[in-house]
Homo-oligomer: A and B are copies of this chain.
Amino acid sequence: MKKSLLSLAVSFAVTCSGAALAQGDTASLEQRIADLEKRLEKTEQVAVDAEKQASAFEFHGYARSGLLINDDLNGASGTGPYMTAAGALGGAVGRLGIEDDNYVEVILDHNISQDDGSWSKYRVMIADSTETNNEWTADDSKLNVRQIFAELGGLDSFDGALAYASIWAGKRFDRDNFDIHFMDTDIVFLSGTGAGIYDVQFSEDWQSNFSIYGRDFGTIDSSSLEVENYIVTMNNYIGQWQLMLNAMTAADNEDRDQTASSPTKRAENGYHALLAYHGNNFYGGGEGFSKTGILVGQGLGAELKGIGSNGNLNEDAQAVRLFSYGVTRFADNWRIAPAFLGEFSKDRVKDGDEFLWATANVRLAQELTKNFEMVYEGSYQYMDLDNGTEQADGSFYKATIAPTFKLDTSGGFFQRPEIRFAASYVDWSEDLNNYSVSLDNDASTMGEGGEMIFALQMETWF
């Protein structure tokens, strides 16, 4: 018994040395866990700091750059979505493969985000546009600062209808601008220096934005007359509808010198309205989106896109513009994006002038591999233009085919960067040759049509 007790004790001792080992293990595990906790605490701090540092700064941008070659082996200067006579009126055509400028926007943001949910965003945008293919562009440089603004949101002091509101001041592109990418034209491009409030919530379905923008007409220097245009704007979003109303006033604008390009009395006031439907599918069916709407304007408001930016408009200038465009996928590897934009305007800068233009554009993409697609664009524009002195009417045609590389063709029309090669044929009615909307004697004209344009291009935004 003693023996067996001894053996038991021994086995017990053995077993319990196992248990003792486990206790030793436990202690060592505990130590390792404690070490881990300490290390993790530090790492959490480092990671959070790094994340904070990284997200306090944001780099955004847009760029297009490339080489255009025409069939004479010369550069294709003067081409682009605004190359037709109606371009001076905002009558864009399809852009694919014909943009010759090297255009770049560099956007640097500084963000602050506080524990109470309040935040600020500061943005500065530097932009440039040159046509030269050379790489030292100091002589052609247009480098300039297009945006400088600050925005505050999530403010403790805001509640009720303002609970989700943010306020801003500075120089900016309005947040609610939107565009037909395929024609490189904004539907509205409101910009300038001012202040405003976004996201005032009147009801669950009704949200409004209010802003004041200032713009300058003519040259700003101490010796010449300085005219400022003040634009008051209101945007209402009710469900999928947008109603934008703008009023503007530019004291002393009629006192500015009359010039060849502005022979009659300038307006001092203007009105502008936009009604748009933002569909979250493709005209009622299919994935994608579609947007349709109408813009009207009077006086200084008759510049329908760049609201308040044209100081040469007459008091009784009138304009109406229609647009509709959408994007969808219509087969496994095919996408389509039709677009329409048309405008009628009269009494713009000379009593009795009258302009009608309308563009129809279709872009198609055929996804061939994960990284390669063929993109096709057909563009047609009808113009009936009468600047009060000369008249011309006719049509513009463009057809483009563009083999395109990207990281993922399934990403759709708006995935970038893209590297593309393009061949375009552009032509127009002979009646339009050398016609210009401008009354200036040395205004650039459409020239003659019938040209092949080859392009090697990149485009990106992020």
A195 in the interface (beta carbon within 8 A): yes
A185-216 vs B: 1/0 string, CB under 8 Å?
A: 00000011111000000000000000011111
Contact of A143 among B22, B23, B143, B152 (CB under 8 A): B143
Bound-state CA distance A444–B223 (Å) is 9
Nearest chain B CB to A461's CB is how many angstroms away? Answer: 9
The reply to whether A135 and B122 form a contact with Cβ atoms under 8 Å apart is no
If A36-B37, A37-B32, A417-B122 touch, whether A226 touches B173 (CB-CB below 8 Å) is no
**Cβ contacts under 8 Å, A370 to chain B:** 155-157
A49 in the interface (beta carbon within 8 A): yes
The reply to whether B22 and A26 form a contact with Cβ atoms under 8 Å apart is yes
Bound-state CA distance A26–B26 (Å) is 7
- Copies held by the complex: 3
Nearest chain B CB to A90's CB is how many angstroms away? Answer: 15
The reply to whether A193 and B66 form a contact with Cβ atoms under 8 Å apart is yes
A382 in the interface (beta carbon within 8 A): no
**Cβ contacts under 8 Å, A10 to chain B:** none
The reply to whether B220 and A140 form a contact with Cβ atoms under 8 Å apart is yes
The reply to whether A215 and B133 form a contact with Cβ atoms under 8 Å apart is yes
A161 in the interface (beta carbon within 8 A): no
If A19-B22, A419-B150 touch, whether A408 touches B114 (CB-CB below 8 Å) is yes
If A110-B462, A135-B146, A215-B133 touch, whether A371 touches B44 (CB-CB below 8 Å) is no
**Cβ contacts under 8 Å, A440 to chain B:** none
A172 in the interface (beta carbon within 8 A): yes
A85 in the interface (beta carbon within 8 A): no
A148 in the interface (beta carbon within 8 A): yes
Contact of A192 among B134, B146, B226 (CB under 8 A): B134
**Cβ contacts under 8 Å, A371 to chain B:** 118, 152, 155-158
**Cβ contacts under 8 Å, A44 to chain B:** 39, 43, 46
Stretch of A1-9, A272-280, A291-299, A357-365 with 4 or more beta carbons under 8 angstroms from chain B: A1-9
Within 8 A of B (CB), among A44-94: 44, 46-51, 53-57, 59, 61, 63, 65-67, 69, 72-75, 77-78
A235 in the interface (beta carbon within 8 A): no
**Cβ contacts under 8 Å, A172 to chain B:** 135
A320 in the interface (beta carbon within 8 A): no
| Number of chain A residues whose Cβ lies closer than 8 Å to a Cβ of chain B | 136
Bound-state CA distance A190–B57 (Å) is 30
Bound-state CA distance A118–B371 (Å) is 10
The reply to whether B106 and A124 form a contact with Cβ atoms under 8 Å apart is yes
If A26-B25, A120-B407 touch, whether A369 touches B9 (CB-CB below 8 Å) is no
The reply to whether A50 and B61 form a contact with Cβ atoms under 8 Å apart is no
Bound-state CA distance A91–B169 (Å) is 29
Sample of 26 A–B contacts (CB below 8 Å):
A8-B12, A18-B19, A29-B33, A36-B40, A39-B40, A47-B50, A50-B53, A53-B54, A53-B55, A66-B195, A69-B214, A69-B228, A72-B251, A102-B148, A112-B462, A120-B417, A122-B462, A127-B136, A133-B213, A133-B216, A135-B173, A138-B143, A141-B145, A148-B458, A195-B419, A195-B421
Interface residue ranges, A against B (CB under 8 Å): 1, 4-5, 8-9, 12, 15-16, 18-19, 22-23, 25-26, 29-30, 32-33, 36-37, 39-40, 43-44, 46-51, 53-57, 59, 61, 63, 65-67, 69, 72-75, 77-78, 102, 104, 106, 108, 110, 112, 114, 118-120, 122, 124, 126-138, 140-150, 152, 155-158, 167-173, 191-195, 212-216, 220, 222, 226-228, 230, 249, 251-252, 309, 369-372, 405-408, 417-421, 444, 456-460, 462
Closest CB pairs A-B (n = 4): A195-B456, A53-B54, A65-B170, A169-B458
